[in-house]
Structure 1
Amino acid sequence: MHTIFRIGEVRKIDKKSPLYEVDLKLTSDDDQQLRQLTDRVREESSGSTGWYRMGKLLLTIGQFDKAEELYMALLEQASDDSDKTHIYHQLGWVKRDQGQYKEAASFYEMSLKIERKTLPEDHPSLANTYNSIGQVYHNMGDYSKALEFYEKDLEITKKALPSNHPDLATSYNTIGQVYNNMGNYSRALEFYEKAHKIYVKALPPTHPSLATSYGNIGQAYNNMGDYSKALKFYEKSLKIREKALPSNHPLLATSYNDIGGVYNNMGDYSKALEFYEKAHNIYEKALPPNHPDLAMSYNNIGLVYNNMGDYSKALEFYEKSHKIREKALPPSHPDLATSYTCIGQVYNNTGDYSKALEFYEKTLKIREKALPSTHPDLAQSYNNIGAVYNGMGDYSKALEFYEKSLKIREKALPPNHPDLASSYNNIGGVYNDMGDYSTALEYSKKNFEITKQVLPENHPDLAFPYNWFGKIYRSMKDYSKALDNFEKCLAIWKKGLPENHPYLAVACSNIGDVHRLMGNYEKALAFHQKALNIQENVQCSPLQVATTYINLGETYREMKDYSTAFTYFEKGLEIRKKKLSENHPDLAVVYHNMAKLYLATRKYSMAMKNIQQAVEIAQEKLPSTHPHLLEYKETFEKIRKKM
């Protein structure tokens, strides 16, 4: 074996210098791990000539423009079909990694056209091309087409290779990924496990593909809401990578990111940050400053801060991510659209709807250019724009965009896909906000039917439909049904989430609010206090805390403890004023509550001032028949008669 070193550590010599100091450790001649890995690498790269190896290397390290330049030069010199087939295929790879999926499909199909003429129909090279075309359709969101090509690949691969060949495992993995994106997580898991059985038999125990396989299985369990199993498999993946790779290898960062994602889903945001920052430290050391993976890392950290309600921090990290992507990627790349979406979400969460709309429309513009008209990402864009209009109280516009989103999802996705459930939920939410509770209930039931089909009974997301039922029944003043649904919601979250998860606080606050409406004030206070105890001890959205303060204020107002009520209203109002636009409907709710409090304490001028603010916002933002507006007008008349 030639002289081989393990990389111990890579350090930048100083901040100004582009030079790095690398600690190398000489391997011994009988290093078993090295022998297994090099034998495998040699097998994977055999049969290529120098320039073709150079092209593959450029692709592997992300130098797509240079790879394209090299392959175009090689194409001009190519004289036989075999060379042309290979070059077209590699150009397809370039275009796919650049996010130019239509061009990628075109190059792959040129390669396929030659192969079909020159090779038997069950030749392994055809399988490889089918797989590549499948990947492009997968990226374009055309999952049925992707499956069609992946299954052609699998059919040939099964005939051509022994049953434990790693390439067969790759085929199972790619089919698993399609089912994962289709929301069919149990099928995804089935294919991931088929792949894994092969990898365990065929590969050395420290092979990177085995770590990836554990990661895929972890991903399926994560999507199914089984977070303890997801962690178990992600940690197995990490263990292999820690043994096989240097401490600052990017694949270690992938494992840290995966584990961070699980903790984020569990609502353990400090743990999520800890792992995302571990990943980020590796990327900063190991990658150039404009590498796309560094952008993804900033994005992940931004996501946690967004979930914690620290929107200024979230924006800071999302913008760092965006700057890298602007430099590193072509202007129509889907990852740029992702950046615009994330920034838009922050502005939407803070009630800055015009800014949110600006960024969501930038996303839409890229996706309309880069993707086919039925791509699920386009549906997501329409969905996001609908959410902004809903937040602005423009319910007809919100419905228009939510229905555009639904139309795509009904065409592109299987009938029980979770994204379809999300669309029904959102449309139901608009009807609820419009005061059309029967239609809201109809859509929420559609959401529930899909959700209970596709998710296991202990999945935390199964609680969301119950939460919506509770909200609608509360609006309909059917308090016993509202309470029943909110309690079901709480029971699911208690089983599936950590005891201090912010969602538990939301459920407790909702239950407390129903008890208030039923006149059970002591129970109401107990549940609101439970909510507040969680919210004051974990990192969660300030707007959720504001809602709990306002619910407590309303309870104390109805109990005629006006000074305590006023204190809580003030706390809630202060947060909402900071976080929301000045004419947001949620501010009108607080102004109305305070007007009722001032009316009860005979401070009529202050009551009038607050009710006028509530009515002005509601008249601008709500339909003329909305129950809130009618209630505000009724209170206005009561105050006017007292003055």
Structure 2
Amino acid sequence: MTLFERYKERLKDLDPELITAEDEISLKEAFRHAKEIMEPKGLISWFVTASEPFYRAAAWEVLLPIYKELLDTAERELGPEAPETASALNGLAGIYRYMGKHEEALKLFSRALSIREKSAGSEKTETGDTLSELGILYYVMDRQEEALSYYTRALEIQEKFLNPENLGAVRTLNRIAFYYKGMERPEKAEELFVRALRLLEKLAEKEPENRKVMGYTAGTLNNLGVLLSEMGKLEEAEETYGQALKLQEKVYGKEHPQIAQTLNNLALLYFQTTRYEKALILYTRSLEIMEDMGKTEHTGFATTLNNLAGVYVQKGRNEKALELYTRALEIRERILGPDSPEVAKTLNNLGELYRILGQHKKALPLYTRALKIYESTLGPAHPDVGTTLNNLAGLHESMGEYETAIDLYEKALDIIEKEYGPDHPYFKITRNNLLGLYEKMERSWRG
């Protein structure tokens, strides 16, 4: 067995959620030895397939230099219009998209599409894949009409090539569903998730034990569950999460990051419906899975810590909540940086807990820091700014600083009304807080 074959064997059946540093070394070594024995066509074809789990794991530091080298090799050895050049362009463009280099990604995807339409024809699966990638790029660039146009073109092609090993149509349907969810058309998003599930059901009838089909089905069910929960269809959401968990346990066993995520989503549903004991059990199990899998330095782990802390607040176990919020804050600051909106969320939660505990001096700098982060990252008119202003107003009210509180409540109301309108629960809560303060002040004057 050659060195290439040894490293290639180590890369078989990798789970994107469980990629290790050793796996990354194996990919680099396999690529190094593959260059010695493969022609450019075979090298690019092999690497695109071998790197897929690393792509899904967002291992950009490993993939970026290799894809740059592959593109250089393809253009030099095979020519700028070769199908392999398109593959390298497509891979590199996806990395740039995830890195936020949208204009560079757009140029590369557009080149890849042009090559694929000329060489493979407009009715080939590779063409559909690039169209779908362009769709998601335009979506994150906030060019919504173009995003939908590319998604639609992609789906027309991908549905013709749907099989258990090529689930591009299912991916694109999920992406279009998220598009409509972002456009606040949840019914349309629900319709598309259901359509994706129907395609997967047809494939499952042919190959009921196909792990890839089961994995995609579980992922789509999870996405649908989140949507149904946000739509207030809580019983349907609970059932959908249950179906996702059943499939995930069949594919991955009892412990896997995907299972932890679904448990987290279901626990949130239980929290929202005041079933705190059930939420506590699921959040705790989710954390245990992530700890056992070595996923503690992960944003998902911090989110679960944050959510579990909220359960403990509801149960009156404030010291435990304080411990978990503090731990979540440390992880988020380390991974995302001190000025991330996710950091601001935990700062807000910590501030609220200290306010409940009557420790106003500790709460004030936390709310103030959260407000600065939101204003600088999301803009001064963002709803999260309004929510934080409401919290800060409540703190000043608790401190007896009524004039400051009134000013903050009014600013919060202005922001929330512009974003959501006067009938939204957030607006009503803030308005009631302000009216309650006026009544309190009036009573004190009378007294």
Distance in 1 (CA, whole Å) between partners of 2:327 and 2:360 is 22
Distance in 2 (CA, whole Å) between partners of 1:256 and 1:146 is 31
- Give 1:115 deviation, angstroms: 5.2
Pairing 1:445–2:414 present: yes
2:188 match: 229
In structure 2, give the amino acid aligned to 1:196. Answer: T
The within-5 A match list for 1:351-362 is 351-362=316-327
In structure 2, give the amino acid aligned to 1:445. Answer: D
Distance in 1 (CA, whole Å) between partners of 2:351 and 2:238 is 30
- Give 1:306 deviation, angstroms: 0.6
Q: Secondary structure at the match of 2:274?
A: coil
- Give 1:96 deviation, angstroms: 7.0
1:59 match: 14
- Give 1:206 deviation, angstroms: 4.2
For the structure 1 residues 415 and 442, does the alpha-carbon distance in structure 2 shift closer, same or farther, using more than 3 Å as the test? closer
2:24 match: 68
1:338 match: 303
1:466 match: 427
Maintained 8 Å contact 2:158/2:169 = no
1:155 match: 110
Pairing 1:204–2:204 present: no
Deviations 1:249-284 (A, max 9, x none): 122222322332233123232222111111111222
For the structure 1 residues 217 and 292, does the alpha-carbon distance in structure 2 shift closer, same or farther, using more than 3 Å as the test? same
Distance in 2 (CA, whole Å) between partners of 1:422 and 1:334 is 19
Pairing 1:218–2:181 present: no
The within-5 A match list for 1:380-399 is 380-399=345-364
Deviations 1:188-231 (A, max 9, x none): 57514522322213442745222222222223333444332222
In structure 1, give the amino acid aligned to 2:193. Answer: Y
In structure 1, give the amino acid aligned to 2:386. Answer: Y
Q: Secondary structure at the match of 1:331?
A: coil
Distance in 2 (CA, whole Å) between partners of 1:311 and 1:396 is 30
Of 430, 438, 455 in structure 1, the residue corresponding to residue 392 of structure 2 is 430
1:279 match: 244
In structure 2, give the amino acid aligned to 1:241. Answer: L
For the structure 1 residues 159 and 203, does the alpha-carbon distance in structure 2 shift closer, same or farther, using more than 3 Å as the test? same
In structure 2, give the amino acid aligned to 1:466. Answer: F
Q: Secondary structure at the match of 1:449?
A: helix
For the structure 1 residues 271 and 70, does the alpha-carbon distance in structure 2 shift closer, same or farther, using more than 3 Å as the test? same
Deviations 1:67-123 (A, max 9, x none): 3353254366466697799979978964972xxx7xx44334433554576565974
In structure 2, give the amino acid aligned to 1:437. Answer: I
Maintained 8 Å contact 2:221/2:243 = yes
Q: Secondary structure at the match of 1:267?
A: coil
Unaligned runs of 5+ in 1: 1-48, 138-144, 453-460, 479-625, 635-643
Aligned length: 408
Maintained 8 Å contact 1:206/1:241 = no
Maintained 8 Å contact 2:386/2:411 = no
In structure 2, give the amino acid aligned to 1:216. Answer: R
For the structure 1 residues 230 and 50, does the alpha-carbon distance in structure 2 shift closer, same or farther, using more than 3 Å as the test? same
1:244 match: 203
2:97 match: 134
For the structure 1 residues 55 and 190, does the alpha-carbon distance in structure 2 shift closer, same or farther, using more than 3 Å as the test? farther
The within-5 A match list for 1:26-105 is 54=9, 57-60=12-15, 62-65=17-20, 67-74=23-30, 77=33, 94=54, 97=57, 104-105=59-60
Larger Rg: 1
Maintained 8 Å contact 1:169/1:194 = yes
Distance in 2 (CA, whole Å) between partners of 1:130 and 1:331 is 30
Task: Please report the TM-score for the alignment, with normalisation by the length of structure 2.
Answer: 0.77
1:172 match: 134
Maintained 8 Å contact 1:253/1:278 = yes
Q: Secondary structure at the match of 2:14?
A: helix
Q: Secondary structure at the match of 2:160?
A: coil
Maintained 8 Å contact 1:395/1:430 = no
Pairing 1:195–2:195 present: no
The within-5 A match list for 1:513-592 is none
Task: Please report the TM-score for the alignment, with normalisation by the length of structure 1.
Answer: 0.55
- Give 1:151 deviation, angstroms: 2.2
Q: CA RMSD in A?
A: 3.9
For the structure 1 residues 279 and 450, does the alpha-carbon distance in structure 2 shift closer, same or farther, using more than 3 Å as the test? same
In structure 2, give the amino acid aligned to 1:175. Answer: L
In structure 2, give the amino acid aligned to 1:70. Answer: S
Give the structure, 1 or 2, with the largest relative contact order (CA under 8 Å, sep 6 or more).
1
Maintained 8 Å contact 1:85/1:112 = no
In structure 2, give the amino acid aligned to 1:360. Answer: Y
Maintained 8 Å contact 2:413/2:431 = no
